[in-house]
C-alpha cells in the first residue's frame, strides 16, 4: 500500500507482521548519463507472487538484475531476511538463494534435462561426475513441481516444447534451496496450454513458500498468479500493493502515465479503481 | 531486452531506455566526419574524435606504411630500400597482393572467408598461360585472359553456392576448395615438375608478359596521370557541388580540394619514382609499369560496384545484418554466390599478374597458395576491412597490399640467410595475427557487442 | 469491468531469430496442441524409451530418418570403402594391407581427436597438422646423439609440453582476446611452419639409426608390435574389463531406478566390442613379412586406445567435458551458469595441441626421417583431421561429437588413402578425393541440422 517511494508504514504489506524476504529500498541505477532507476522501493514477501509491471524502458529488467547481482545499484540498499546485503555477482545471489530465470532461458540445446539443470554445479563422485545422483535429484524436482509431460529426463532439451523448456528452466532455478525466484517474461513465447502450465508451476513455487517475482507484459497472466502488483514508470516505482487493489485499467494507467486517471492510489478499503 | 547483462549496446542504456540524455560525444564519434563538418577545422576535429573512439579507417595502414618505409630504409644494406628500382619492384609485387586483397575483401564484407583465393589465382594464371601457348591453343591474349577469369568465376560460383544455399560454413568449403584446386593446379600444369612459360618474343604472349614487366613510355605516363587526376578530381568536385546545389549533405569545399590534391600528389610521386632511370647507363629502364593503371582500373571498378550499385549495397547490408537484408527482400543466396564468383574471378586476374611478375614462368614453385591467401587476408584486414563483415572498402585492399608487398620484399633484402625461409612463414603469420588483433580491439572500442 | 487484455497482447517472441523455429514449437509460439508426436519421438535418443531390442531399433530407425543419424554414416562409409576398394583391388582386405591401413590411420585418428576438442567448442583449429609437424621435428632433434642427446622419455615429455604451450597461446588469443579461431590458427600454422623449418635447420633429421637406443625406442613406437600371445591377453583383459564395467554400471542404474537401455542392447554392445577386438588382433597376428616374421598388434593401436579411453572419460564424465559441450551448445547459458568460458576454451585448445603433439611423436616414428618438404606437406593434414572428425559424426557447429568419432572417421580417411594409393592414383587426385569427401561430410552435417534452428 505504498505509493511514490515512501517506506512502508508499520507492518509489512502482507499485513501478517512478517518481514518480507527481500526488501529493496531507495535503489538508484544509472548507465552513463541515463538514469534507469530512481529511488525504487520494493517488497518481495515469501510465499507470495509479486508481479512487476511496466512499459518498455521502465526499468523492470534493470531492477531484476540489481537483485540478481548482475548490476550493482549506485545508491540504496537491499535487505535479505532483514539483513542488509551486497549482491556483487550472480554467485552471491545464488549463495543467498536468489535464482533468476531469464527470458531466453539460458538452456544448452545439445545437453539433456539433467545436464542443464546441474550446469555449473555438478556433484562429483570419486573425481568424476555423479550422474546417478544428478538424475535422481532432477527427477525428484520435476515430479515435485508436477512436470509430467516430459517423456524422459535424459531427453535433449532441444526436443522439448516451449512450455517444457520453461519448466526445466524454472526447475533448474528451484532446485538449489532457493528462496526467491525471479522470472523475466516467462510466458512471452508460449501458447495457451503451455502458459497455463507455467502459471500453475509458479503457483506451486509460491505454495512451497518461495518468494516469486514475475515480470510480465501480459496482464491476464499477472492477475492470475500475482498476490501483489508493483508498477514501474520511467524508473520510478509508482505503486505497489495487493493485487486485489488493482484492476487491469488501473495497472495500464499506472504503466503508461504513472497515475491512475489522475487520482492517487488508495488502499484496498476504498473502491478498487474505475469500473 | 536480451542484451547480455554484462554488455551495454553502444548508444542505449542497459534496459533499452529512451536516449533522453545520450552522451553527445558518443553519438558524434559514430557519425562520419564529412557529414557534420562545415569547415575543414570542424572536419579534422570530428575525424580525430572518430579515431579516438576506435573507428580509425585507413589511418593505421597509412601509418604502418610510413613506419615500414622508415624502418626498412634504416636497416637495409646501403639504405637501398627506397631506391627507385626497389620501389618499382615493390609496386609490381604489391599489385598481386592488392588484387588478391580486393578479391578477398568482397567476401570478408559478407562476414565470410575465402581460403581458396591463392589456389584459384594460380589456376587462373596457369589457364591463361596455357591458352596462349604456341604451338598449342594459341588463343589471342584477351580471349585467354577472359577464359581464365571465367573459369575462376565458375569455381567461385560453385563455392558460393555451397556456402549460400547449403549453408556449409565458408571456411570449410573454401578450405576444401584450397586443397582441391591445389591438386587440380598440378594436374593442369601437367605434373609436379612441369611449368608453363611465356615466350616474350611472340607478340600475343608479350602482352601478358608486359602486364607487370612492361613499361609505359614516360611521357605517356605523365599524360595518363594528368588524365586520371583531372578525371577523378572533376568527378569528385562536380559530385560535391551537385549535392550542395540540391541542399544535401556535402563535405566542405576545402576538404574536396585537399582530397584531389592528395590524389595528384600521390600520382605524381609514383610517376616520378617510376620514370627515374633505374637501369644502367647503357640500357634505359624507365616508365610506369602497365600493371599500375591495370590495378587502378580494378580499384575503380570495385569501388564503383561496392559503393554505387545495388549489389554492393546489399553486400554491406548482408555483412551488417543478414536478417534485416533478408526481410528487405534481398536474395541472400544470389548475392553471396555472385560475391564468391567475382572474388574468384578477381583472384584469377591476380594470378595472371603473378605469372607476369615472375617473368612469365609458371611452375609449382612460383608461389605457395597457402601463403598467398594469408597475405591476401592480412592485406585486407590491415588495410581496414573487418573480419566480422560489413566494414571495408576496395582502397583498403590496395593500401594493405602495398604494405604486405613492402614487408615481404624488405625482409628479402636483409640477407638473413638461413632465417629467410622460416621468416617467409613466420612473418605473414605474425602480421596476420597483429592485423586481426587490431581489428578485434578496435571493434571493442567502437562498443559493438562482442561474441560471448 | 470489461475483460480487457493487456496492452501488449501479441506473443512477444523470445529472442529466437524470427527465421528460426525452435524444435518442437511452431512459428508463432502457438501451443503444442497438435505437436507431431513423431517429431518429438524422433528427437529423443532411442535408448531412453525402448524397453526391448525391437523397440530400440524401431526408435533408432525413426531417428535416422529424421536426420539425426549418429555414427551410421561413418559405419556405412567404412563398409562402402571396404567393399569398393576390395572390388577394385583384391589385396585391399589382405592382412598385410589392413595392418598398414590401421597404422596409417592412427595419425589421422589422433589429429581428428585433437580437432574434435576445437569443434565441440564451436571453434576450429587449423594448426593441428603443423603442431604435429613441429612436434615430430622437436622430438627427433632432441634425441639426436650428436645434438641434444636427450633420453627418449625426456624428449617426448618436452615435445608434448611444447605443443601444449602452443595450444595455450592459441587458446588464449581465441578465448581472452576474442579473435576468431580460424584466423588465430591460420596465423599459428604459418608461424609454426617457420619455426619447424628453423628447428630442422635446413637439412633432414632422422631417427633410424639402430645404434642409438633412444632412436630405437622412438622408431619402435610406430613400427614395434606386441608379441602375438601378449596381444591376445591384452585384448581379452581390455574387452573383459570394459564389458564388465559396462554391465555392472547398467545393472547399478537399473537397481536405482534410473533410465537404462534394455539388457539385450548392452549385451550386444559388449559382443560387438569383443568381435572388433578379436578381429583386430587376429588380423594383426598374421605374419605379414615377405621373409622372416613380422606379426603382432602394433603398439600404436594400444596408444590410440589409451588416448581414446582417457579423452572419452574426460569429455563424458568430468565437469570440464560437460562445460565443453555446454559452451558448444549455448555459450551464454554456460556463462550464466558460472562456467569460465576463457578457461574452458583455452584448455580445449591445449588438449587439441597436446593430442596433435602425440600424433607428432608417432609421425616422426612413422616417417623415420623428416625433411623440409615433409614439414610443408603436414599442412594438408588439417583437412584430413577435420574431414575425419566430421565424417565420424562431429558437428562443425559445436556441441555435438565424441572421441570415438575421430577414431572411426580416421579409419575411413585412412581407408580412402590406402585404397586410392593401392590403385595407383597420384597424390594430387587423392587430395581431390579427400576434399570431396570433406565437402560431402560437411553437407551431411548441415543437412542433419536442418530439423533444428537454421541460420541466415
Q: Do the Cβ atoms of A59 and B16 come within 8 Å?
A: no
Reading the block at residue B317, the C-alpha cell is 547490408
Q: Do the Cβ atoms of B430 and C332 come within 8 Å?
A: no
Q: How many CB pairs under 8 A join B and C?
A: 149
d(CA A143, CA C201): 67
Half-sphere exposure of B145 (CA within 13 A, CB side): 16
Task: To the nearest 10°, report the CA torsion of B304, B310, B313, B317.
Answer: -160
Confidence of residue A90 (pLDDT cuts 50, 70, 90): confident
Chain A residue nearest residue C22, CA to CA: A158
| Domain tally, chain C | 1
For chain C, list the contacting chains (3+ Cβ pairs, <8 Å). Answer: A, B
Residue A41's H or E segment, with its range, is strand A34-44
Q: Residue A243 above 80 pLDDT?
A: yes
Q: Are A8 and A43 in contact (CB under 8 A)?
A: yes
- B257: Cα separation from own chain's centroid: 26
Distance from CA of C320 to the nearest CA of B (A): 18
Which residues of A are less than 8 Å from B10 in CB distance? none
* Mean pLDDT calculated for residue range A175-184: 88
Domain ranges of chain A: 2-109+179-257
What is the maximum alpha-carbon separation in chain C?
A: 100
Omega cis (within 30) before B135 = yes
Write out pLDDT tens, residues C272-328: 889 989 988 988 888 877 777 788 889 999 999 999 999 999 999 999 999 999 999
> Least CB-CB distance to B323: which of C194, C435, C456?
C456
Chain A residue nearest residue C255, CA to CA: A132
> Least CB-CB distance to B17: which of A36, A65, A104?
A36
Please name the residues in contact with C361: beta carbons below 8 A apart, sequence gap of 6 or more. C135, C136, C139, C156, C159, C160, C218, C221
Q: Residue C51 above 90 pLDDT?
A: no
Q: Which of residues 7-36 of B touch A (CB under 8 A)?
A: 8, 13-23, 26
Distance from CA of B53 to the nearest CA of A (A): 16
Q: In this predicted structure, what is the pLDDT of residue C138?
A: 94
> Least CB-CB distance to B15: which of A32, A61, A103?
A61
Q: Are C448 and C66 in contact (CB under 8 A)?
A: no
Task: Please count the other Cβ atoms lying within 10 Å of the Cβ belonging to residue C153.
Answer: 10
Domain span at residue C380 reads 75-82+92-224+298-447
**Cross-strand pairs, A240:** A2, A230
> Is residue C355 situated within a structural domain?
yes
What letters, b where the CB count within 10 A reaches 16 and e where it falls short, cover C13-51? ebebeeeebbbbbbeebbbbeeeeeeebbbbbbbbbbbe
A163 touches chain C (CB under 8 A): yes
Q: Are B448 and B29 in contact (CB under 8 A)?
A: no
Which stretches of chain A are DSSP H helices? 60-68, 90-96, 113-117, 131-144, 162-174, 192-207, 219-225, 248-257
Which residues of B are less than 8 Å from C331 in CB distance? 451-452
* Mean pLDDT calculated for residue range A211-240: 92
B110-114, B333-337, C22-26, C59-63: which range is least confident on average?
C22-26
Q: In this predicted structure, what is the pLDDT of residue B16?
A: 36
Confidence of residue C206 (pLDDT cuts 50, 70, 90): confident
Q: In this predicted structure, what is the pLDDT of residue C5?
A: 33
d(CA A133, CA A144): 16
Radius of gyration of chain A (CA): 19
Q: Do the Cβ atoms of C184 and B177 come within 8 Å?
A: no
> Is residue C434 situated within a structural domain?
yes
Q: Do the Cβ atoms of A90 and C336 come within 8 Å?
A: yes
d(CA C352, CA C361): 15
Backbone angles phi, psi at C96, to 5 degrees: -60, -50
Distance from CA of C201 to the nearest CA of B (A): 8
Q: Which of residues 6-35 of A touch C (CB under 8 A)?
A: none
> Least CB-CB distance to C319: which of A103, A122, A159?
A122
For chain B, list the contacting chains (3+ Cβ pairs, <8 Å). Answer: A, C
Q: Which of residues 289-308 of B touch C (CB under 8 A)?
A: none
Q: Do the Cβ atoms of A65 and B8 come within 8 Å?
A: no
Q: In this predicted structure, what is the pLDDT of residue A275?
A: 33
Average pLDDT of chain C is 82
Task: Please count the other Cβ atoms lying within 10 Å of the Cβ belonging to residue C456.
Answer: 16
* A4-13, A64-73, A141-150, B392-401, range with greatest mean pLDDT: B392-401
Chain B residue nearest residue A58, CA to CA: B17
Place of cell 597458395: B369
Which residues of B are less than 8 Å from C191 in CB distance? 425-426, 429-430, 433
Distance from CA of A157 to the nearest CA of C (A): 9
Distance from CA of C14 to the nearest CA of B (A): 9
Best mutation target among C121, C252, C326, C397 (most A Cβ atoms within 10 Å) is C326
A190 touches chain C (CB under 8 A): yes
Write out pLDDT tens, residues C338-382: 889 999 999 999 999 999 999 999 999 999 889 888 888 887 788
Q: Do the Cβ atoms of A36 and B14 come within 8 Å?
A: yes
Which residues of C are less than 8 Å from A124 in CB distance? 319
* Mean pLDDT calculated for residue range A86-101: 87
* C291 vs A87, higher pLDDT: A87
> Least CB-CB distance to C1: which of A191, A195, A247?
A247
Burial of B280 per CB tally in 10 Å (0-12, 13-18, 19+): exposed
Nearest-CA neighbor of B163 among B106, B108, B113? Answer: B113
* B351 vs A262, higher pLDDT: B351
d(CA A204, CA A146): 9
**Fold of the domain spanning A2-109+179-257:** Rossmann fold (3.40.50)
Q: In this predicted structure, what is the pLDDT of residue C11?
A: 30
Nearest-CA neighbor of B435 among C393, A210, C184? Answer: C184
Q: How many CB pairs under 8 A join A and C?
A: 177
Q: In this predicted structure, what is the pLDDT of residue C139?
A: 94
Best mutation target among C17, C399, C426, C435 (most B Cβ atoms within 10 Å) is C435
HEC per residue, B324-378: HHHHCCCCHHHHHHHHHHHHHHHHHHHHHHHHHHCCCEEECCCCCHHHHHHHHHH
* Mean pLDDT calculated for residue range C43-57: 71
Q: In this predicted structure, what is the pLDDT of residue C24?
A: 35
* A168-182, B141-155, C184-198, C233-247, range with greatest mean pLDDT: B141-155
Q: What is the CATH number of the domain that holds C124?
A: 1.10.3470
Reading the block at residue C41, the C-alpha cell is 519421438
Distance from CA of B161 to the nearest CA of A (A): 28
Strands A98-101 and A180-184, by their bridges, are parallel
Q: Do the Cβ atoms of B15 and A60 come within 8 Å?
A: yes
Chain C residue nearest residue A128, CA to CA: C318
Q: In this predicted structure, what is the pLDDT of residue C318?
A: 94
Reading the block at residue B131, the C-alpha cell is 591458352
Which residues of C are less than 8 Å from B432 in CB distance? 183, 186-187, 190
Place of cell 549482491: A87
> Least CB-CB distance to C455: which of B113, B167, B441?
B167
> Is residue C180 situated within a structural domain?
yes
> Least CB-CB distance to B15: which of A32, A33, A36?
A36
Strands C205-206 and C369-370, by their bridges, are antiparallel
Q: Residue C333 above 50 pLDDT?
A: yes
Distance from CA of A127 to the nearest CA of C (A): 8
> Least CB-CB distance to C191: which of B332, B426, B441?
B426
Q: In this predicted structure, what is the pLDDT of residue A271?
A: 41
Q: Do the Cβ atoms of C14 and A192 come within 8 Å?
A: no
> Is residue C308 situated within a structural domain?
yes
- For residue C391, give Cα distances in angstroms to B163, C70, C102, C112: 19, 10, 17, 10
Average pLDDT of chain A is 84
B177 touches chain C (CB under 8 A): yes
* pLDDT beneath 70, residues of chain B: 1-32, 34-36, 51-56, 280-281, 443-452
Reading the block at residue C229, the C-alpha cell is 600371445
> Is residue C275 situated within a structural domain?
no
- B299: Cα separation from own chain's centroid: 8
Residue C206's H or E segment, with its range, is strand C205-206
Q: Residue C93 above 60 pLDDT?
A: yes
d(CA C108, CA C411): 8
Amino acid at each position: 500500500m505504498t505509493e511514490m517511494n515512501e517506506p512502508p508504514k508499520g507492518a509489512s504489506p502482507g499485513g501478517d507482521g512478517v518481514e518480507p524476504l527481500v526488501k529493496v529500498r531507495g535503489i538508484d541505477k544509472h548507465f552513463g548519463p541515463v538514469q534507469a532507476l530512481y529511488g525504487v522501493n520494493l517488497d518481495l514477501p515469501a510465499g507470495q507472487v509479486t508481479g512487476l509491471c511496466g512499459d518498455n524502458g521502465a526499468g523492470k529488467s534493470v531492477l531484476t538484475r540489481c537483485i540478481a547481482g548482475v548490476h550493482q545499484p549506485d545508491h540504496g540498499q537491499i535487505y535479505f531476511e532483514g539483513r542488509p546485503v551486497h549482491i556483487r555477482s550472480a554467485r552471491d545471489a545464488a549463495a543467498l538463494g536468489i535464482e533468476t530465470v531469464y527470458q531466453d532461458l539460458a538452456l544448452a540445446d545439445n545437453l539433456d534435462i539433467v545436464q542443464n539443470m546441474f550446469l555449473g554445479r555438478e556433484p562429483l563422485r570419486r573425481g568424476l561426475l555423479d550422474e546417478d545422483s544428478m538424475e535422481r535429484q532432477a527427477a525428484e524436482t520435476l515430479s515435485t513441481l508436477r512436470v509430467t509431460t516430459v517423456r524422459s529426463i535424459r531427453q535433449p532439451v532441444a526436443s522439448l516444447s516451449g512450455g517444457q523448456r520453461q519448466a526445466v528452466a524454472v526447475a533448474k532455478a528451484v532446485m538449489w534451496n532457493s528462496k526467491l525466484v525471479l522470472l523475466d517474461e516467462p510466458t512471452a513465447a508460449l501458447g495457451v496450454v503451455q502458459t497455463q502450465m507455467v502459471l500453475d508451476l509458479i503457483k506451486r513455487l509460491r505454495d512451497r513458500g518461495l518468494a516469486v517475482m514475475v515480470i510480465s507484459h501480459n496482464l491476464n497472466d499477472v492477475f492470475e498468479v500475482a498476490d501483489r502488483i508493483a508498477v514501474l514508470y520511467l524508473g520510478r516505482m509508482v505503486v505497489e500493493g495487493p493485487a486485489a487493489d488493482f484492476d487491469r485499467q488501473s495497472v495500464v494507467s499506472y504503466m503508461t502515465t504513472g497515475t491512475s486517471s489522475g487520482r492517487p492510489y488508495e488502499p484496498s478499503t476504498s473502491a478498487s479503481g474505475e469500473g | 531486452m536480451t542484451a547480455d547483462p554484462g554488455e551495454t549496446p553502444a548508444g542505449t542504456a542497459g534496459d533499452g531506455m529512451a536516449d533522453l540524455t545520450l552522451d553527445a560525444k558518443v553519438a558524434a564519434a559514430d557519425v562520419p566526419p564529412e557529414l557534420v563538418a562545415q569547415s575543414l577545422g570542424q572536419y579534422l576535429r570530428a575525424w580525430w574524435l572518430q579515431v579516438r573512439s576506435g573507428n580509425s579507417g585507413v589511418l593505421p595502414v597509412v601509418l604502418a606504411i610510413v613506419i615500414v618505409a622508415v624502418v626498412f630504409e634504416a636497416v637495409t644494406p646501403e639504405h637501398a630500400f627506397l631506391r627507385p628500382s626497389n620501389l618499382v619492384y615493390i609496386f609490381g609485387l604489391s599489385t598481386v597482393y592488392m588484387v588478391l586483397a580486393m578479391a578477398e575483401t568482397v567476401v570478408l564484407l559478407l562476414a565470410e572467408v575465402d581460403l581458396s583465393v591463392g589456389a584459384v589465382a594460380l589456376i587462373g594464371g596457369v589457364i591463361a598461360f596455357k591458352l596462349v601457348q604456341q604451338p598449342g591453343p594459341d588463343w589471342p591474349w584477351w580471349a585467354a585472359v577472359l577464359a581464365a577469369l571465367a573459369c575462376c568465376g565458375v569455381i567461385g560460383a560453385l563455392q558460393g553456392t555451397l556456402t549460400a544455399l547449403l549453408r556449409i560454413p565458408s571456411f570449410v568449403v573454401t578450405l576444401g576448395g584450397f586443397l582441391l584446386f591445389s591438386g587440380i593446379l598440378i594436374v593442369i600444369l601437367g605434373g609436379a615438375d612441369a611449368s608453363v612459360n611465356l615466350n616474350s618474343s611472340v607478340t600475343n604472349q608479350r602482352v601478358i608478359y608486359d602486364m607487370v614487366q612492361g613499361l609505359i613510355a614516360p611521357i605517356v605516363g605523365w599524360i595518363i596521370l594528368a588524365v586520371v587526376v583531372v578525371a577523378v578530381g572533376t568527378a569528385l568536385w562536380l559530385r560535391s557541388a551537385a549535392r550542395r546545389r540540391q541542399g544535401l549533405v556535402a563535405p566542405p569545399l576545402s576538404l574536396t580540394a585537399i582530397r584531389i590534391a592528395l590524389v595528384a600528389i600521390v600520382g605524381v610521386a609514383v610517376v616520378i619514382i617510376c620514370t627515374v632511370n633505374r637501369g644502367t647507363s647503357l640500357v634505359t629502364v624507365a616508365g610506369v609499369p602497365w600493371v599500375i593503371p591495370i590495378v587502378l582500373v580494378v580499384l575503380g571498378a570495385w569501388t564503383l560496384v561496392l559503393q554505387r550499385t545495388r549489389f554492393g549495397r546489399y553486400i554491406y547490408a548482408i555483412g551488417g545484418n543478414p536478417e534485416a537484408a533478408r526481410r528487405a527482400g534481398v536474395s541472400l543466396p544470389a548475392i553471396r554466390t555472385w560475391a564468391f564468383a567475382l572474388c574468384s574471378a578477381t583472384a584469377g586476374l591476380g594470378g595472371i599478374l603473378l605469372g607476369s611478375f615472375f617473368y612469365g614462368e609458371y611452375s609449382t614453385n612460383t608461389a605457395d597458395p597457402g601463403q598467398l591467401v594469408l597475405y591476401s587476408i592480412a592485406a585486407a584486414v590491415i588495410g581496414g576491412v573487418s573480419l566480422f563483415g560489413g566494414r571495408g572498402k576496395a582502397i583498403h585492399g590496395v593500401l594493405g597490399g602495398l604494405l604486405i608487398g613492402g614487408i615481404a620484399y624488405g625482409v628479402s633484402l636483409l640477407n638473413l640467410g638461413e632465417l629467410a625461409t622460416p621468416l617467409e612463414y613466420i612473418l605473414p603469420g605474425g602480421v596476420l595475427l597483429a592485423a586481426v588483433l587490431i581489428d578485434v580491439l578496435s571493434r571493442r572500442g567502437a562498443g559493438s557487442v562482442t561474441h560471448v | 469491468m470489461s475483460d480487457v487484455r493487456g496492452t501488449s497482447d501479441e506473443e512477444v517472441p523470445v529472442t529466437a531469430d524470427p527465421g528460426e523455429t525452435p524444435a518442437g514449437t511452431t512459428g508463432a509460439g502457438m501451443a503444442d496442441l497438435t505437436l507431431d508426436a513423431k517429431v518429438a519421438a524422433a528427437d529423443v535418443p532411442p535408448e531412453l524409451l525402448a524397453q526391448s531390442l525391437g523397440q530400440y531399433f524401431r526408435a533408432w530407425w525413426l531417428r535416422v530418418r529424421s536426420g539425426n543419424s549418429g555414427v551410421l554414416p561413418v559405419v556405412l562409409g567404412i563398409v562402402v570403402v571396404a567393399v569398393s576398394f576390395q572390388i577394385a583391388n583384391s589385396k585391399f582386405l589382405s592382412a598385410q594391407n589392413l595392418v598398414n591401413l590401421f597404422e596409417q590411420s592412427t595419425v589421422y585418428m589422433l589429429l581428428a581427436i585433437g580437432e574434435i576438442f576445437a569443434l565441440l567448442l564451436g571453434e576450429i583449429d587449423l594448426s593441428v597438422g603443423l603442431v604435429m609437424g613441429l612436434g615430430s621435428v622437436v622430438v627427433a632433434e632432441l634425441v639426436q646423439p650428436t645434438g641434444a642427446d636427450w633420453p627418449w622419455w625426456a624428449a617426448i615429455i618436452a615435445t608434448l609440453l611444447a605443443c601444449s604451450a602452443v595450444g595455450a597461446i592459441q587458446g588464449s588469443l581465441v578465448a581472452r582476446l576474442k579473435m576468431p579461431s580460424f584466423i588465430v590458427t591460420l596465423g599459428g600454422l604459418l608461424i609454426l611452419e617457420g619455426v619447424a623449418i628453423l628447428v630442422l635447420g635446413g637439412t633432414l633429421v632422422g631417427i633410424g639409426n639402430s645404434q642409438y637406443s633412444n632412436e630405437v625406442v622412438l622408431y619402435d613406437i610406430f613400427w614395434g608390435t606386441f608379441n602375438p600371445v601378449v596381444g591376445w591377453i591384452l585384448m581379452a583383459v581390455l574387452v573383459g574389463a570394459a564389458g564388465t564395467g559396462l554391465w555392472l554400471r547398467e545393472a547399478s542404474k537399473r537397481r536405482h531406478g534410473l533410465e537404462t537401455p534394455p539388457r539385450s542392447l548392452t549385451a550386444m554392445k559388449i559382443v560387438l566390442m569383443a568381435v572388433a577386438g578379436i578381429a583386430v588382433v587376429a588380423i594383426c597376428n598374421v605374419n605379414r613379412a615377405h621373409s622372416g616374421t613380422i606379426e603382432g598388434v602394433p603398439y600404436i593401436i594400444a596408444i590410440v586406445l589409451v588416448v581414446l579411453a582417457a579423452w572419452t572419460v574426460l569429455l563424458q564424465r568430468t565437469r570440464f567435458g560437460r562445460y565443453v559441450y555446454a559452451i558448444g551448445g549455448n555459450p551464454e547459458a554456460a556463462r550464466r551458469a558460472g562456467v569460465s568460458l576463457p578457461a574452458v576454451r583455452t584448455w580445449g585448445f591445449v588438449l587439441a595441441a597436446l593430442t596433435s603433439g602425440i600424433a607428432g611423436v608417432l609421425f616422426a616414428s612413422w616417417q623415420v626421417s623428416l625433411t623440409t618438404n615433409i614439414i610443408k606437406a603436414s599442412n594438408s593434414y588439417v583437412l584430413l583431421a577435420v574431414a575425419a572428425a566430421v565424417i565420424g559424426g562431429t558437428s562443425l557447429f559445436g556441441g555435438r561429437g565424441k572421441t570415438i568419432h575421430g577414431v572411426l572417421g580416421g579409419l575411413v580417411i585412412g581407408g580412402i588413402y590406402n585404397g586410392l594409393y593401392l590403385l595407383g592414383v597420384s597424390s594430387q587426385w587423392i587430395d581431390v578425393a579427400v576434399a570431396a569427401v570433406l565437402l560431402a561430410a560437411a553437407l551431411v552435417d548441415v543437412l542433419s541440422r536442418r530439423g533444428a534452428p537454421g541460420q541466415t
